[in-house]
Each structure stands twice: as structure tokens, then as C-alpha cells.
Chains A and B, each alone.
Chain A
Amino acid sequence: MDKWRLGSVYFAMLGAVIMGLGCLEFTTSLGITPPLGSEWLTLSPAPMKWMSVWRGIVTLLAGLLITWGSFGFLEVEGFGRSVIGIIMLWILAGCDILAMFCGSIPGTGTWLNTLRGFLKSYAPPYPAAVWLIPFSLPMIYFIMMWDMQTKSNKRRNENGYGTKRGKQKKQG
């Protein structure tokens, strides 16, 4: 199995997992399923309920795009779809990490947090999007591979062609 096919299978599975977590986040934020979580993972961590619903929708759609794209991973269209899905996941995780950072510096009623409070802000449980970051990183490798292939194709095209009239002149 070549690495593109392997990538296709990997991202189909990752997309399905993200979709499942998105569904759970969405139903939990709507109160359909009971709140889930452990000392490592928290679902629907957004500070306001409506942001949690929004967040669940984004996770679900990200998973959907990654899976949908993985079926045509070898074509630019399918690959692009998966990349967009992964970008959506990175947006969510970026928001979570930023929220963690912003919440760690000011203390409650004081300018600066205590060292203990600061460190505690970075302790688990983490939202699903943060846990999924390491699993989404192989996409960077595939983006770089795609870029390299495109560049080498372009170079080949540039070397092989000239203007029609210029060719005629040369032949003449």
C-alpha cells in the first residue's frame, strides 16, 4: 500500500472519530446525552452553552469533511476537502489553547495568577480538539508532499514548452 492510500485510510478513520466526538459534543450541549468526561477529557468545554452547541457543529462538520475528502484523497479535490476539515479542527484546538493561556495569567480579582494557579490552568482535562491535534499532524506531511509534487510537475512543464511562434522561428 503506498503512502497516499495509507493516508486515505488513516484520515477516513480519524474523520469518523472526530464526527463521533462532534455528535457527542452537540448532543451533550443540547442536553440530549448526559455530560461526559473524565480527568483527562472534557466534552463541550465552551464557557457558554450556545458556544458549546456551535462548537459541536464545527467538530461534526470537520469530521464529515475529513472523511468525505479521504475517499478522494489522491485527487486534489478530495485532498483539499480533508485539509479544510483539518484546518477547522486546528481552529477549534487553537481557540482552546488560547483560552487556556488567557485564563492562566490573570488571577481571580488580582492582576497576576499565583504560580500554582498558573500551572493548574494547563492541567487536564483537555477538550477533544486538543487531544486530536497530534493525530491530525500527519496532514502537514501530506501537504508538504503535495506541494513538492506540484512544484516538480510545474518545473517539468516549464522546461518542456515555449511559445508557438518561437518554436516555428527556431525551426525556420
Chain B
Amino acid sequence: MALTGDERWELIDRITKETVALGEYKRDLKDILGEMTVRPSTGIPLAIAVLFGFFSFVYSFGLSFLMMLLDPLFKDMIIPWLVQAVPGGGATLEESSFLYAVLVGDPMAVHPFEYFGVLTSGLYTAIGVVLPAIIAFYIMMTLLEDSGYMPRLVVLLDTVFHKIGLHGFAAVPILLSLGCNVPGIEATRTLETRKQRFMMMALSGIFIPCGAQLGVMLQVVPEYLGLILLYLFGSFFIAGFILNAITPGKSPELFMDVPPYRMPSWRNLHRKVWYKVESFIAVAVPMVLVGVLIVNILYLSGVIGWLGSLLSPVFLHYFGVPEETAGPLVMAFLRKDIAVSQIGAIEMTTAQKIISVTLVSIYLPCLATFIMILKEGGIVDLLKTIVFLIASFFVFGGLMQGIVSLLNV
């Protein structure tokens, strides 16, 4: 049945009357709070407070609560039982069998980090230290996403990221990389051009420490973590500026819809966190164990010692760290968190510890991140990342050595 022009207008009027409220629109408090969180004068202070809350939660809930609950399980039950139950154990590492050395490690060790065994240090780092930090991290991440604050943070940071050829969406891969580099690299898909994607993959792979690494860093050098993070973020922008200048391609403007603030739902939070933690357990934990296994075999067969003596002039004279750092650096290719925990077990000065932890951070990304870069960017982007990484390792690692000597740490 066709409607006449007047009938159509009648219908439009009826629908409008029922659905649209017309009048002078006055911005209410919710609108103004939404606007203020993207305005630099009010948005930046709030972002500083929100990020403080973020890290404080990771520290309090992840590392002071969950980790402390898991700690006695490893220190008093699992590890002492493994030391006794695995056959071939002796009074020292030299007196123990090869299998025992690989699986349990040094029977003289006091702290779980010092065993270096697959089932001792490996399990302790993955489940006892990293998992609590990861759970706390993903709870906060989900809360920021579901409340609607995350898109506002993206808009707020847009101007800053434009200086290095990226845009506000770069905040998403960065924050995700602070949890795990793998989803961080995956999230670079939100960036529009190939140039931006390559830049983000290279920068987050090199300069953004993952949640696992952060957790262990908090254990090894807690009082200097702020300095290291500040240095890494500063290096991120300097390196980004250089990459932007030498990488051909475009950096378009950002257009996005900012949703209203919403109360996050408990069901969503629970599901999202479980999904992410489940994939961490399925992917990262086996990799940690395989990583420790490979490094243990390399260590016991003398390969790491050989590498250490080969690279010792560089470590000793250029970076000023002991040659034993070569072992953790080999390990860092498989799992950076294990590498940082191994650094914690090596005897060195505070300055050397800071430099070593920084070196591990800007060293090759872990194997899983490498595979992800290859998958997302292809072989050319992976090779370009490796070249950039080697240059960054020497430039920013050497610079850190200079800063630490200047500060007289």
C-alpha cells in the first residue's frame, strides 16, 4: 500500500514524537566528565592517576597477595619434594646426575630462582611469579576497556604519538604488550598503514617489557624499576622518532567513535580474564619450561660458557657487566622473564644489575614474539626489526651504562 506525501509526514511526526525529545540540550555531568578525560588539562592528570592505580593494583593484588599465597606452596612443598623425589641428586650440582641437574638444578640453592632447574626455577617463575602479575594485569586491562576509559586514553595520547608517526591507537598495542608482547603485536592490526604497523611491532618488541618480565623485574630490582621503565619509554620515543624519519610510508589522522562510560559487568570481566589467563597457561608455561630445558642443556654442555667468553670483551668493556650475563641473554630469546630471574641470581653490583636488566629488555624479543612479527609483518619486516634491534641494543644499552655511571648508582 503506497502512502501519500501527507501520510508519510504524519507517520514521521508520530514516530518522531514517540522517539525523539527536542529542546535545548544541556551537557550533563556524565557528558562533561567524558569530554574532560580527553582534554589534556584534565585528562593527563587523570591518566597519571589511572595508570598509578593500574600498577598499584598489579603490585598489591598480583605480587603482594596472589604471589604471597603461592610462595609457600613452592618454597615449602613443591621444591623440597622435587629435590628429594627426583633420582640422581647429590650434595652439589657436580655430584648430581645430568638429568637431575636439568630437571632440579643446584641442590645447594636457597631461593627458587637459584636452582635453574626446569621443574624448580622454571615452574616457580611461570606459575609463582608471572601468573599472579598476569592475572592482576588482565583484570585492570579489562576494567579499563569495559568502562570506556581505554578509547579516551587513545584519543588523549594521539597528539603525542603523532610526533613519532603513529596515532592514539598505538596505546592499545603498548598496553597489551605490557601484559604480553604476542597479543600486543597482534593488536598492531588496528593501525592503518604498513609503516605504522612495522614501527609499532619493532618498538613494542624492543622497548616494552611484558608483564612476565615486569613481575620478575619487581622482584630483582624493585627500587630501580621506575628508572628502567622511564628509560625504556624515553628510548621508545627517541627510537620511534628515528624510525619515523627513515621508514617510508604514510601516517594518517585518527578518527574514532568514543563510547559513553559504562559500569563493567562482572560476567564479562570474569570471562575475559579467564580467556586470557587460559591462553597464557597454554602457550607461555610450556615455553618457559622448554626454554629452561634448552638453556640448562646449553649450560651443562658448556655452550653458554663458550659464548660468555666469546662475548665477554663486549659485556665487560662496553656494557660493564659480568660475562655470566651471556647465559641469561641467550635465554632471553626464549623467555625474557626467566632471563631476568637468572640475572637476579648472578652476583653483581646494583649498577650492573640495572644495566643487565635493561639489556635483557632491549635484547631480541622472545621466540613467540618473533614468530608473531613474522606472521603479521612477513620476513622483510622481521629482518628490518632485527637490524634495528641490534643497533638499539648497542646504542641504548651503552647509553644506560653511561647514565648509571653518571648517577653513581
Contacts and interface: CB of A to CB of B under 8 A. Distances in A.
Interface of A: 46-51, 53-55, 57-58, 61-62, 64-65, 76-77, 79-81, 83-85, 87-88, 91-92, 94-95, 98-99, 102-103, 105-106, 109-111, 143, 146-147, 150, 153-154, 157-158, 160-163, 165-166, 169
Given A94-B53, A143-B29, A50 B226 contact: yes
27 contacts: A48-B226, A49-B226, A50-B225, A51-B55, A51-B56, A54-B48, A54-B226, A55-B52, A58-B45, A76-B27, A76-B29, A79-B32, A84-B45, A95-B60, A102-B60, A105-B69, A109-B76, A111-B72, A150-B28, A153-B26, A154-B21, A154-B26, A161-B22, A163-B13, A165-B12, A166-B16, A169-B10
B60 A49 contact: no
A165 B227 contact: no
Interface string B62-89: 0011001101100110000000000000
Contacts of B29: 76, 79-80, 83, 143, 146-147, 150
B45 A48 contact: no
Contacts of B48: 54, 57-58, 61
Contacts of B50: 91
B345 interface: no
A99 B64 contact: yes
A82 B57 CA distance: 24
Contacts of A61: 45, 48-49
B46 interface: yes
Nearest to A105: B65
B17 interface: yes
B6 to A, nearest CB: 9
A138 to B, nearest CB: 16
B144 to A, nearest CB: 12
B73 to A, nearest CB: 8
Interface of B: 9-10, 12-13, 16-17, 20-24, 26-29, 32-33, 36-37, 42, 45-46, 48-50, 52-53, 55-57, 59-61, 64-65, 68-69, 71-72, 75-76, 222-223, 225-227
A65 B64 CA distance: 32
A95 B21 contact: no
B244 to A, nearest CB: 29
Q: Interface residues of B: mostly helix, strand, loop or mixed?
A: helix
Nearest to B227: A50
A4 B373 CA distance: 57
Given A103-B65, A106-B64, A158-B21, 12 more contacts: A50-B223, A54-B226, A58-B45, A76-B27, A80-B32, A85-B45, A102-B61, A102-B65, A105-B69, A150-B29, A157-B21, A166-B17
A53 B17 contact: no
A169 B29 CA distance: 36
Contacts of B17: 162-163, 166
B20 to A, nearest CB: 8
B49 A48 contact: no
A95 B226 contact: no
A92 B49 contact: yes
Given A58-B49, A84-B45, A110 B226 contact: no
B65 A106 contact: yes
A14 B159 CA distance: 33
Given A50-B225, A150-B26, A165-B9, A88 B32 contact: no
B226 A53 contact: yes
Contacts of A163: 13, 16-17, 20, 22
Contacts of B33: 80, 83-84
A157 B28 CA distance: 14
Given A76-B29, A146-B29, A103 B225 contact: no
Contacts of A146: 29
B75 A109 contact: yes
Given A54-B226, A146-B29, A150-B26, A88 B13 contact: no
A48 B225 contact: yes
B61 A98 contact: yes
A106 B132 CA distance: 14
Contacts of A81: 36, 42
B404 to A, nearest CB: 15
Given A76-B27, A80-B29, A81-B42, A48 B69 contact: no
Contacts of B71: 106, 109
Contacts of A77: 32
B104 to A, nearest CB: 22
Nearest to B37: A84
B42 A84 contact: yes
Nearest to A106: B68
A166 to B, nearest CB: 5
Interface centre among B33, B37, B52, B69 (most CB of A within 10 A): B52
